Structure 1
Amino acid sequence: MATVPTGFSRTVPLSLFAGALLLLGLVLAALVFASMTRENSSEALDAAQLNNRTVLLLSLLQDAETSQRGYVLTGNQIYLRDFQRAAALANLQFVSLQHDLGDVAIGTETIRRLGMLVARKLDAMKLTADLEAAKEHNKALSVVTAGDGERLMLEIRQIITRIDAITNNVGFQRSRDLTDATWMLIATIAIGAVLLVLLVGGAMRLVMGHSIQIEGARTALAEHNDTLEARIRQRTQYLERANRELQSYSYIVSHDLRAPLVNIMGFTSEFERAAEVFKAFLHTIPQGSGGEMERAAREAVEVDIPEALGFIHSSTKRMDELITEILKLARAGSRQFHPQSVDLKGLFAEIVATSKHGADETNATIEIAQDLPVVESDRLALQQVFGNLVENALKYSAPGRPPIIKVKGKIVGEEAIIEVADNGRGIAEQDLERVFELFRRSGQQDRPGDGVGLSHVRALVRRLGGDVTVRSTLGTGTTFTVTFAAKLRQEGREENDNGPAGHHHHGRG
């Protein structure tokens, strides 16, 4: 007689736990590389802005010089006002640059020399303006033509040219670091995706192997008629035990995976409390009395720690949502269906009423065919299936285009066929089947979601004796076709309730 692997009940939970740890690791690695990317981008932008501000200083000095010479040559007060304004702005611009220049490795002596040259240049220009104002035109003109001003401007240009080269080099280095961090982020995501695929593939192989073993056991039972009743009882006991084990997976996910998250959340709250205490302590210290160490401590408490705590909160919340969705999907396979007469037209009217807020926000139009059939099926399951599809159509509408959702259906033979079509953003051809995979989403990720909804839809529809397919044109719209038994049979329901249907179909768009 065929035997069943006893390690199955241990291997699959371990695989799920490993997958959860891998997801958490990917999130943390992505956060690290994203932080590096932001830091390098900020430094590159600061270097570019510093370069522009240095060039602006030179431009203001040139404007002041031009206005000063215009005033000396013409005596026109307009030139004098332009000179005074440009000179004042040039002085302020250098004062604002002094500290920032030191941050990009500009030497103290160079900064001091530039400040002295700017001051001398401004003083020389002010002298000529004062002489001209005192009606001593010849003296003013002699100062302008003496050549000292040109030599000062030449040296100022040389220093600013060196500063320009240094800031450009800093910007180039930060850009290279930004590129490297971006590639590391992409590589992390790619490696994680491959590992997840391998993990899911291994879990599915275990499930398939388990199903094959069960089928072999059933065949062996049929071949041993002499001990049929005893073997049936033996297999029945095993199947009941296996079914209980499958049900226990949901509790494993709920307890073993949630417990660490609860601990993380608790310790995070303690960390926040400690940070507030430290922050309150810092406020008792006069600002600036502790020097650089105090500044770093204040920055850590007021910026770095809250930012890190924000990342932790968002990551744990995301993990908790994923665990909840896994739990819901696992329980879907064991839920008992209750067939009843369902008027699909009335069902969709209820769904539209429930979705009214989202439809009004997007100015959506939902058209329901008047000839939708009446079926005998599980009302709650159908409500979940079609409610999810209508919600997706509203959520993934095309920007700038009011959503139009059309619902039509018919009965062909023993099957009901319902189509939900929209004019939304559409799905790329290579993603048409992937949208049904667990935790997989297609297209631009600008809407909230866990990548579980369509997986749940397909699991429910298959338990209703059918399947769901999709066709789409990117940028034009999407049509989901749901096929299910028009009359859900009692025996089919029972068989599905005892089987692993809820565990081997996954996906989500």
Structure 2
Amino acid sequence: MTGRSAFSRAVPLLLFTGAILLLGLVLISLRFASQTQKGSEEALEAARLNNRALLLVNLVQDAETGQRGYLLTGEEKYLAPFKRAEAVIPQQFQSITDDLAKIGISEVTVNRLKRLVDDKLAEMQSTIDLKTAGRDGDAIAVIQMDAGQRAMDEIRQIMTRIEAVTGSISFQRGAALADATRWLLISIAGGAVLLIALVGGAVYLVAAHARQLDAARRALAEQNETLEERIRERTQFLERANRELQSYSYIVGHDLRAPLVNIMGFTAELERAAAVFAGYMEKPPEGRDELSEKVAREAIDADIPEALGFIRSSMKRMDDLINEILKLARAGSRQLNAEPLNLADLISETVVNLQHRLDESGASIVVAQGLPQVVSDRLALQQIFANLLDNAVKYADPARRAVIRVSGKITRGYAIIEVSDNGRGIAERDLERIFELFRRSGPQDRQGEGIGLAHVRALVRRLGGDVAVQSVLGQGTTFIVTFAANLRFAKDRGER
């Protein structure tokens, strides 16, 4: 009895001692959690600074696009990008100046970048003023001096250095983040071990609460298992977003520049033909021979209409590309509306809208039983599966009857939907390329701008997931769409 009494008196002391130790472990855990949060925020700030710096370059390129459009056409509407960029660039530059100093970019480099941007804007403004004054030749001469091109090249070089510094910061913070996470797991594990020991020593006092503590321990262990994975996924997402932003900037600049090059080339051809005809008209009637008349007539009847036709088609191409870019931008900024959805019903509605295409091609869509119910954005999912199913029909193999299968399940809070076909397939080298803006795979024998899958990936990522593809050339393709099964929960967790 005395031994039991002594044990009873010792239990509160053990519990108190254990509580003190637990408090110490909690404080240590909070410290590592704070370090984890700080590292994540610093990595995110570096990525954001890089994105803002890239936006400054994009604004200068937009201004250059507006300048060239005005120089080529003389129409005021093409100056809108230049004026917008001219108004925004000082604010954008000011927003990154202090942050550049914080990451070690020297004041000399920052001042050099500002001078280059100012010189580039001044050069573009001078050509616009010359064009407005009717001095087209002087405006072209300013451009041909290549001062603006050299300024842009040096601006890009400075931006490359900034990108390297921010990338290094993100890498270092990621390493520190991994260390802090590891120690956080160790401290939490130590707390769990201590908790189990205390429960074992005081089992007769806390028997009524044992099941609750055990459940709490399991929940904590599960959180520990997924913490590092979530941090790794977030870091990978930031790195991927940064790479895609750079790729997007390059692709947009490249694809919009190509029609401009065509326009400039055929403008020169137009000037040459006009010069030929003008030379013929300047000759007195007695000096016009049959050969010069033939050359002049060819310039008027063939060369000039041909040049105008190519210029018109290039301008239409630019307009189409800009409209597609605006479409993608609007999709990325639309407010999502989470609502309960039956995926089987949603996909059936999409199939009905494609029925005329299915009847024409003889294709069939097989929807598996048991598609999950989700809470997500109806319009986004409709656009995602409409694009995927439409592509499956569009790129069917003419050698066999097209069969498209849709199946799905929910795993660990994510809906995973597979859209498979037996179409012509995609080459392995193009499996990631097909998600890039304005990029398509295989023979270009189908209509399209190459924006559908880029749109799909953007929408799926807004729904808290991603899209992947598996394909065998000549056999078929499977798109795997993964998104949050409950968008409300995913949004709340993201806000926290």
Q: TM-score, normalised by structure 2?
A: 0.45
**TM-score, normalising length: structure 1:** 0.44
Indicate the structure (1 or 2) with the bigger Cα radius of gyration: 1
